[in-house]
Amino acid sequence: MASLINCPHCGMRPKEEFSIRGASVARPAPSAPDEDWHRYVHIRDNERGRILEYWHHAAGCRRWLVVERSNITHEVFSVTDAEDKAREVAQ
């Protein structure tokens, strides 16, 4: 059975409709020291377990989503529209 992603706009869809664009990592402030930017761009810990990633629903609604999943088991725990997630974080 194919893995399914529950898109908040399109419902359950096969994972092949999506493209993974990378982990959700806190971006340094524009005025942050060069060392902070160096770590952000070039040096990342590859943590095991639950992670947040940006996914694009390329073959569906074309929305950006934030997917919380295990990078060990690939189990998906939650899917949130990236715009909603940004508003949540800004509050």
Q: Where are the domains of the chain?
A: 17-90
* pLDDT above 90 coverage of the chain, percent: 66
Q: What is the pLDDT of residues 53-83, one digit of tens each?
A: 999 999 999 999 999 999 899 899 999 999 9
Which token pair is 75? 């189990």
- CA nearest neighbour of 70 among 91, 53, 89: 53
Q: What pLDDT, on a 0 to 100 scale, did the predictor assign at position 2?
A: 57
Q: Are 7 and 69 in contact (CB under 8 A)?
A: no
3-state helix, strand, coil in the chain (%, to 5): 25, 35, 40
Q: What is the mean pLDDT of residues 4-31?
A: 91
Please give the CATH architecture assigned to the domain spanning 17-90.
Answer: 2-Layer Sandwich (3.30)
Which DSSP category does 74 fall into?
A: -
CA 86 to chain centre: 12
What pTM, to 2 d.p., does this model score?
A: 0.78
Q: What pLDDT, on a 0 to 100 scale, did the predictor assign at position 1?
A: 40
